[in-house]
Structure 1
Amino acid sequence: MLKKLLTAFLVLSLVFVLAGCGSDGDTADGGNEAADAQEQEVVEWTFAHEEVQGSVQDRYAQKFKEEIEELTDGAVNVKVYPVGQLGDGANQVELLQNGAIQLGINNPGSVGTLVPETNLFSLHFLLPADMDKAHELVNDSEAMDMLNQKYLDANMKVLGWFPEGYQMWTGNKAITSPEDFDGFKIRTMASPVISESYKAYGADPTPIPYMEVYSSLQLNMIDGQVNPIFAIEEMKFYEVQDYMMLSNQAIFVGTFVANDMFWDSLSDERRAKVQEAADAANDYILGAQKDLNNTRLESIKENSDMEIVELTEEQRSAFKEASQPVRDFYVEQYGEDAGKILDQLLKDVEAIQQ
């Protein structure tokens, strides 16, 4: 009930935004953007994401803001809200669906109940080990076209997908085999597939809000957590964890989406500019996230006593084998369409690695 009341309050507090941008009919007659900017008030679009300022999602959002404001000659102003300012990830998704905000970045963990098929990105050892190929795959594969339609059915128009980096484990002990996870309380997002993935290793998956992970580690309420390197550094998890395992078992994937009614309200010209700005942000973020994760890894090494454990191929193979039954769980949990998307993605992965 409290969550519903919070969402309702946020919707009401943001509804004024729609008055300024709802139909966006300024370009319906195909006029140029410079003339529109002079003849009408500047419209403001709200863009929410699920990470802190300076993160991968924030850099993506800021790049999109820069591009769309330039492409529209200032006729559009984008207001970016990081996590916490408009609620947590789940709250932001609800606001986006309801049309209280226009744009957002989410991830499978927060949107998985609305688009259950997207939980396939929570499966381990699924995407290519090469980040460039992974980035290409999530934007160009036939499986993603199928998944994009599922998002549209849930009132979200996908404008781009992007890997944020490989997920790494941290813990109060070294984890180099599935047996090391026995009884290990690992913080995860609230996703059945994520939970099942860690149960397959013998771990005890424990959903905790992102902003509460540090204190939970500090108080020994959990034994470890999983995140990309940049998040581990910016949230200072290295201060309360002794080991980081370079496990590369999964890639954290972000999804840039627009509310479908907002998207439909835009003129063809402005839609094209929005997509152009999104494509520019997508091209930019590949190098940006690589640099950010590499820089943050060096920062952890320089500023902490955390031991970095790089898993061998043999060790990763043991985890990969243990994780395979979770693919069957994914299909059983989410049905025939989920199975078709998974099968197609596996074919796309095989094709891109040849």
Structure 2
Amino acid sequence: MRNFSTLKKVALATAMGLVLAGQAAAEEWKFALEEISGSVQDAYAQKFKQLVEEKSDGKITVTVYPYGSLGESEDLTELVANGVLQFTHGSTGILGSTAPSMQVFSVPYLLSQDNKVNLKVLTESPTIYGPMADKLKTRNLRLLSMYPEGEMVWTTNKEIHKPADFENVKMRVMASPMLVEAYKAFGAVPTPLPYSEVYGALQLKMVDGQENPIFAIEEMKFYEVNDVLTWSGQQQFTVAVLSGESWYQGLPADEQKIIDETITELGPYIFDKQEEYSKTRLEKIKKAKPDIKIVHLTPAEKDVFRKASLPLREKLVELAGPDAGAALKALEKEIADLEKQ
């Protein structure tokens, strides 16, 4: 009995050792999202997971955490900077507090109406991946990529065709100084609120409207509590893909290569995916609420809003400093040059 017991203990210890060795060999990377499962960010993270696990032959596993699992956007960037998480998405409005130049993406009508141009700019811009990325490194954040999740659409209970239509309209915005100023320039009453509180605030008439890409409007059911969808062409919801700078630099060269290759492959993929999401989600909204009003501003109407936003160039420098002003000019030139090609 004693010999059997000893053999049993040895076998158990050996098995435990194999399990622990297996656990040690299986490297896990955690990727947290600002959005729920089924969102554009989720599509990005799931494709990232697939590619990384394939390229590493299963030696690396990626766990995706949807919105609400680990905290709000501000919490996620902190967790990445502190090494608790390996990857997250960061809204440019949120990142503006760390890298003030990121607030340029809150300036209306900055990005091109041509997404081929935007793909080139958001994945290769020397302005974005030079001084702007360097500023994020001071917070131990590495900027891996950027992409748009779709054109921002206004949801309201009345039609908006000109700035005067925004009078006394309380528009929910992210807690970004530039977004607040943008909606002041448009004539609205900007009201910062966390994403999770928007539906309830619309339902209780605490705010009158909000802006988001169409896929988010569908998945968060904002169309249930607003009656008009307006495409103004003024902005795309742009997000950054982030990792920890010190964590990335501490990786072996082959793992850095896996990340870099995956990020490069995901650029064209996510641009196509977000366009697909926008089309399918709009159809879902129309089916769920057939009487919803769809408004597309005319070029002349867009031009009025564009002119109303021009003073924001100076406001950007006032709020975010001269580096942000320089970044804006550089990006505008990059975009203009690409549009001529």
TM-score by length of 2: 0.91
**C-alpha contact 1:60 1:282 (8 A) present in aligned 2:** no
- 1:342 — aligned with what? 328
Quick one: which amino acid aligns to residue 307 of structure 1? K
TM-aligned CA deviation for residue 38 of structure 1: 8.0
Q: Deviations over 1:97-123 (max 9, x none)?
A: 111111111111222211111011011
What's 2:31 paired with?
47
Q: 2:153 corresponds to which residue?
A: 168
Q: Does 1:239 align with 2:214?
A: no
137-146 vs 74-83, greater mean Cα deviation:
137-146
Unaligned 5+ runs, structure 1: 1-36
The Cα shift of 1:254 comes to 1.3
Q: Structure 2 residue aligned with 1:100, among 77, 84, 106?
A: 84
Aligned equivalent of 2:303, options 317, 333, 351: 317
| Cα RMSD after superposing both structures | 1.4
Whole-angstrom distance in 2 between the partners of 1:236 and 1:124: 25
Which deviates more, 190-199 or 79-88? 79-88
Kept in 2: contact 1:142–1:345 (CA 8 A)? no
Does structure 1 retain, via aligned residues, the 8 Å contact 2:169–2:208? Answer: yes
Contact 1:159 1:278 in 2 (8 A): yes
State the Cα deviation string for residues 265-323 of structure 1 (Å, max 9, x = none).
10111101111112222221111100000111122122212100111000000000000
| In structure 2, C-alpha distance between the alignment counterparts of 1:339 and 1:111, rounded to whole Å | 16
- With 319-328 and 149-158 compared, the bigger mean Cα shift is at 149-158
Residues 296-311 of structure 1: matches in 2 within 5 Å?
296-304=281-289, 305-311=291-297
Paired with 1:310 and 1:335, the residues of 2 have a C-alpha distance of: 34
CA distance in 2, matches of 1:48, 1:135: 23
Identical counterparts, % of pairs: 42
Distance 2:257 2:165 in 1: 50
Q: Take 1:181 and 1:157, find their aligned partners in 2: how far apart are those partners?
A: 38
Q: CA deviation at 1:201?
A: 1.4
Q: Match for residue 330 of structure 1?
A: 316
Instruction: For 1:209-224, list aligned pairs within 5 A.
Output: 209-224=194-209
TM-superposed deviation, 1:142: 2.1
Q: Deviation at 1:51?
A: 0.6
Confirm or deny: 8 A CA contact 1:169 1:246 kept in the other structure.
yes
Answer yes or no: is the 8 Å Cα contact 1:246–1:309 preserved in 2.
yes
Q: Does 1:79 align with 2:63?
A: yes
Q: Structure 2: where are the runs of 5+ without partners?
A: 1-20
Name 2:75's counterpart in structure 1.
Answer: 91
What letter is aligned with 2:148? P
Greater shift in the superposed pair: 274-283 or 314-323:
274-283
Amino acid at match of 2:285: I
Match of 1:200 in 2: 185
- State the one-letter code of the partner of 2:128: M
Q: Distance in 2 between matches of 1:39 and 1:268?
A: 22
Distance 2:99 2:68 in 1: 23
Q: Contact 2:166–2:186 (CA<8 Å) still a contact in 1? A: yes
Partner of 1:353: 339
Q: How many aligned residue pairs are there?
A: 318
Structure 1 residue 259, shift from structure 2 partner? 0.5
AA aligned opposite 1:228: P
Amino acid at match of 1:103: F
Q: Which runs of 4+ in 1 moved over 3 A?
A: 37-40
